[in-house]
Chain A
Amino acid sequence: MPRQRALLPATILVLAAMAMPVAHHSVSGQFDTSRSVTLKGTVSKVDWVNPHPYVYLDVKQGNGKASTWALSTLPIPMLRKAGLTKEALSGKPGELVTAVVMPARNGKDLGWIITVTYSDGHYYRLFE
């Protein structure tokens, strides 16, 4: 049984940020907030960049082909405040992770992370 607590009532996290307090594009301008996609794969890279870090997930398709999804998430000051590091997001090398994401509106293999769950069941919930 996965070691997950019942998810607490989540709140839509507005992407306002601190010293990133500049007008910033909204999540809905880039991602379809009405849908979610579940991806299983291995993290090949984490780009720890501002304003949004990217987690690259190598996903095997049903036809055996692999594709790499670029998954974006909260600004680094927010992740730091939550105690999340690049290493924590990366997981162990070759570890199978499950990411639930909002897909990009332009159809590309691009998503906004809602949750990412690791092989031992621990997870990070980053959006509602």
Chain B
Amino acid sequence: MHPRLPVLAFAGLAACVSCSRVPSEPAASRPDLNGTWGRAVVYGLDFVQPETLPDGSICVGGCAPQPENAGLGDDPPPPDFPKYKTDLLPKVADLTARQLETDTVLRCYPPGVPRIGPPAKIVQTAGEVVFLYDDYNGGFFRVIPIDGRGHRQGLPPAYLGDAVGSFEGDTLVVETVNFTDETWLTDNGAFHTRGLKVVERLRRVGDTIQYQAVAHDPAVLQEPWVMKPRELSRSAVELEEPPRCEERDLEHMVDGSYHENPR
């Protein structure tokens, strides 16, 4: 027997302590999630109905018939908010009041999951699914094994966590753990602990994907938080490298006023 093999075998076992192999749907029967996907309704971008004039002038916003329910001049609807335990509500209120200081996403940090929302592009192979994001804070990615392996052990907590996935019928189910506690679930002080677990479901329906995410954090939440479902449709626009993120405005803020922008 080769003298190095026992060491390599041991190392391989140690790297995957809890490798419970959960059977997934056979590759041939899995839905194909490959593609570049856009959201059918993107609040905020809905306002952008530019009119381009023959001389090259562009009028942005209000220059063309607005889509229905664009909410002209109104703030976007507030997101459904997680139900925090009663004794934690003062902390949520404090983080909300000071969110221009406390929300890390305003300093170009990765937004965390599920706040980052659904992926903009999906690359699917027999053994893994890769989510690519076109986010204001950067071009993030997540590599999600779907070969039955368990979560990796011994990794430091991550902004986007550690994910594994499996197909249940026509739905990709992604479970993510090992988060840092520096991100929020959504706006307005929605903090979480390192014990957060997020389960996302992506179901292909025709040329759309139905996306849903549920955040589980029993240390702080009364019940799992269900993020508003999203529908993704095929996009003909390929991803571009996002511009770098640099926050330059906060130092010029005279007051802490802000508006909500649900993902």
**B245 interface hit (Cβ, 8 Å):** yes
**A110 interface hit (Cβ, 8 Å):** yes
A81 touches B50 (CB 8 A): yes
Contact residues in B for A127 (Cβ distance below 8 Å): 61
Chain B, interface size: which category? 35 or more
B48 touches A23 (CB 8 A): no
**B253 interface hit (Cβ, 8 Å):** yes
Which residues of chain B from 105 to 128 have a CB within 8 Å of any chain A CB? 105-106, 108, 111, 115-117, 120
With A22-B105, A25-B257, A76-B243 as known contacts, state yes or no: A14 contacts B75, CB within 8 Å. Answer: yes
Contact residues in B for A28 (Cβ distance below 8 Å): 257
Partner of A122, one of B57, B61, B262: B57
Which residues of chain A from 39 to 55 have a CB within 8 Å of any chain B CB? 47-54
Chain B residue nearest in CB terms to A120: B55
B72 touches A29 (CB 8 A): no
A20 touches B44 (CB 8 A): yes
**B10 interface hit (Cβ, 8 Å):** no
- The segment from A1-9, A57-65, A94-102 that touches chain B is A1-9
With A20-B136, A24-B258 as known contacts, state yes or no: A14 contacts B248, CB within 8 Å. Answer: no
Contact residues in A for B84 (Cβ distance below 8 Å): none
Contact residues in A for B76 (Cβ distance below 8 Å): 14, 16, 21
B256 touches A21 (CB 8 A): no
A30 touches B252 (CB 8 A): yes
> 16 interchain pairs (CB within 8 A)?
A5-B53, A12-B72, A19-B135, A22-B263, A23-B260, A24-B106, A29-B257, A30-B253, A30-B254, A49-B245, A50-B108, A50-B246, A78-B44, A80-B240, A83-B52, A125-B63
